[in-house]
Amino acid sequence: MEKSKLSDAFSMCTLMMHDAVTDFYENLHDEKGKPITVVEDVTRKSDELKRRFLNELQMVVDITLEFNDTDGK
């Protein structure tokens, strides 16, 4: 894998993380735009954001390992 492909993969993962934060913010509000106040709902939405972030961070690690396994080729 070329370094430019590694960089592209990093870009994709960070864009997905950005999308996850945007979705999280939007999901913290009801359909009328008012912030949700139920702690359990906020906790569930926070857990979903953490899961999405951890998946993308793991992808960054995995793609880096793949890059190193192929000696950057």
> Cα–Cα distance between 16 and 56 in angstroms, integer?
7
Q: With contact defined as beta carbons under 8 Å apart, do 52 and 17 qualify?
A: yes
Q: What pairs with residue 35 in β-bridges?
A: 29
**pLDDT the model gives residue 55:** 97
pLDDT in tens, 32-72: 999 999 999 999 999 999 999 999 999 999 999 999 998 76
Q: What is the rounded (10 degree) CA torsion for 9, 59, 53, 24?
A: 50
pLDDT at 61: 97
Distance CA(47)–CA(34), nearest Å, equals 21
